[in-house]
Chain A
């Protein structure tokens, strides 16, 4: 127990809390500038976020959080293995499309198998999209940032080209509604929270699996080693090139699943044919950074951003624009960069005192 309290995770959480606090202070300042008359109401609405709407609000938060937790996990996982996956928008959209396609067309799949297959295929599609930058980095030395950016556009345009040829609702310029079976199970959670996106169960599962892969397995050992030092990994006999590809594929799969989870949620959202990169993808970067790339951190960060997004939306009734939320998130992320430093500083002090602590322990023991 003591060990857990002293663990890095808790320190990370604490330092992130400081950043969030600073972000909210700035948010309050912005709110005061915008309209001091309603500042108190606006700010309280903002921070109470999803909670001000009861169980339904919690459902809203979860619905918002599910896709960005997955894209955040995608970016965070890649970060941990030394890669910057800025290709989540592309991976997200191809995953979304494949999930919808399966959801609409493959009606021969019985019961829950339908959505499960759709989500799995969404993950595979995302992983193929991630594989391209991975392969290009491993075998052609192409910087993954640039190839990921390019793959975003290729993914978006490809999907927009294919939708009108396949599962198209030409009246609304978007995809058709998916089959009832293709809607993710609510796992009975809707008894507690109405309209919940059952995808949260998949998201939490993904968080746990990624945590285990990274920290408990030999595979994670290899992936992280390659991230930290490709040369030393090569020396150790690890196939670094292969690991880069795997890492990007896993990251891509996570983003692809995120796309699937959003559009199979049964919330009545369809994928529109629009030449805009999926914002859920870019939001993943923010979530990953706020969560310090730690899988559980990403989970919390995703829920937090969703929470204040709802708050920001509710705040509009006092005449505030929802962009205030973006300002708060940006400032929080900015200061989370410093909180890392603060943590390091604290750690160093610990080290500085390590001898004293040891001595104390000895004198006690």
Chain B
């Protein structure tokens, strides 16, 4: 039981950033713009957020510092994504091309800037943001152990973003309009909705969230940042598709994949798994094979937004 609680609690390290970034991708794709640049945006977001922390962590309250860093990461991601948005919305460029360009650009840019500023490419930080225990809540059985002990505000942020995303997409005027732009922009246009504006909004939100996701990804995993998020941007894209472009399913996919990854990397600390004597690489592969198998069963009807990837052209019918 203890082990399971531990695994669930550790799952957050994988699942929360995947969730946040995939939700970012959701906004973009639901507005009709494929965002393959999530990886690069994560790198930029993490870089800017960590740089802020690097300079400020000693001089301010840790949680305040983290919140500002999160905002900086989000805004940086958003500004960076603006390039993707301009290319794919206004200039009607192929969305894969500008996305790929951003992915190549981001790490190179971060290394360049880091060296310009501090002569080394790694940006160091100290993880002072962990909350050991949240009073009262942490004593709730099970949930308390998973969510309210040894936790980060980012975990709640992730869950909050999930709820807000769902709310925005399905309960607000903005969400309705955004989704219509991803399905049939002509309909939106003739209903007086500015498709370009909505797509900018969707894409920039995705940049904001992916930037945050990058920071959230790096914080608990290291003590420095080296312009790399280890392919998790692409995995977030996979989670988005796995989650069939729907917020709760994305959450399900993120936690499923996160949990599998957790078992795969934590098994050696758990006697039960250790006693099985299964080779390490078997565990490493399992999350991927499991995902592939699940996909084989759930993909019959794809729910991809109909107009995603197509630049909107007023003239085209």
Asked if A and B touch directly (CB within 8 angstroms), the answer is: yes
Task: Report A's interface with B, CB cutoff 8 A.
Answer: 30, 33-34, 84, 86, 136, 140-143, 145-147, 149-151, 153-154, 157-158, 160-161, 275, 277, 285-286, 289, 321, 323-327, 329-331, 333-334, 336-338, 340-341
Interchain CA distance A44-B86 in the complex, whole Å: 32
Inter-chain contacts of A340 with B (CB < 8 A): 93-94, 97
What is the distance, in angstroms, from B226's C-beta to the closest C-beta of chain A? 12
Inter-chain contacts of B101 with A (CB < 8 A): 289, 330-331, 333-334, 337
Contact residues, B188-226 vs A (CB, 8 A) = none
Inter-chain contacts of B75 with A (CB < 8 A): none
Option from B96, B242, B282 in Cβ contact (under 8 Å) with A146: B242
Interchain CA distance A333-B40 in the complex, whole Å: 15
Interchain CA distance A30-B91 in the complex, whole Å: 25
Structural contact, B301 and A141, CB atoms closer than 8 A: yes
Interchain CA distance A149-B96 in the complex, whole Å: 15
Structural contact, A289 and B96, CB atoms closer than 8 A: yes
Task: Say whether B116 faces chain A, with CB atoms less than 8 Å apart.
Answer: yes
Interchain CA distance A154-B101 in the complex, whole Å: 26
Hey, what's the 0/1 contact readout for B225-264 against A, CB within 8 Å counting as 1?
0000001001101100110000000000000000000000
Q: Can you give 28 A-B contacts (C-beta < 8 A)?
A: A86-B234, A140-B299, A141-B302, A143-B241, A146-B295, A149-B235, A149-B237, A150-B238, A150-B292, A151-B292, A157-B285, A161-B279, A275-B284, A289-B97, A289-B101, A323-B111, A325-B108, A326-B107, A327-B109, A330-B101, A330-B103, A334-B97, A334-B98, A337-B87, A337-B91, A337-B93, A338-B91, A340-B97
Interchain CA distance A145-B38 in the complex, whole Å: 14
Task: Report B's interface with A, CB cutoff 8 A.
Answer: 83, 87, 91-94, 96-98, 100-105, 107-109, 111-112, 115-116, 231, 234-235, 237-238, 241-242, 279, 281-282, 284-285, 288-289, 291-292, 295-296, 299-302, 304
Option from B100, B115, B301 in Cβ contact (under 8 Å) with A286: B100
Interchain CA distance A151-B103 in the complex, whole Å: 20
Interchain CA distance A34-B299 in the complex, whole Å: 49
Structural contact, A158 and B285, CB atoms closer than 8 A: yes
Going nearest first, the 10 A-B pairs with the smallest beta carbon separation are A326-B108, A337-B93, A330-B105, A161-B281, A334-B101, A323-B108, A330-B104, A337-B97, A333-B101, A146-B238
Structural contact, B292 and A324, CB atoms closer than 8 A: no
A153-B285, A323-B109, A325-B108 known, 11 other contacts, Cβ within 8 Å: A145-B237, A147-B295, A154-B288, A154-B289, A289-B101, A323-B107, A330-B101, A334-B98, A340-B94, A340-B97, A341-B93
Structural contact, A330 and B295, CB atoms closer than 8 A: no
What is the distance, in angstroms, from A158's C-beta to the closest C-beta of chain B? 7
Interchain CA distance A141-B279 in the complex, whole Å: 32
Inter-chain contacts of B279 with A (CB < 8 A): 161
Interchain CA distance A86-B285 in the complex, whole Å: 18
Inter-chain contacts of A326 with B (CB < 8 A): 104-105, 107-108
Interchain CA distance A205-B128 in the complex, whole Å: 57
Q: With A323-B112, A331-B105 in contact, is A143–B299 under 8 Å at CB?
A: yes
Structural contact, B100 and A321, CB atoms closer than 8 A: no
Inter-chain contacts of B96 with A (CB < 8 A): 84, 289
Structural contact, A324 and B112, CB atoms closer than 8 A: yes
Structural contact, B288 and A150, CB atoms closer than 8 A: yes
Structural contact, B238 and A30, CB atoms closer than 8 A: no
Interchain CA distance A330-B284 in the complex, whole Å: 32
Q: With A140-B296, A277-B231 in contact, is A289–B100 under 8 Å at CB?
A: yes
Closest to B301 in A: A141
Structural contact, B304 and A143, CB atoms closer than 8 A: yes
Inter-chain contacts of B241 with A (CB < 8 A): 143, 145-146
Inter-chain contacts of A277 with B (CB < 8 A): 231
Structural contact, B299 and A141, CB atoms closer than 8 A: yes
Structural contact, A150 and B116, CB atoms closer than 8 A: no
Inter-chain contacts of B100 with A (CB < 8 A): 285-286, 289, 333
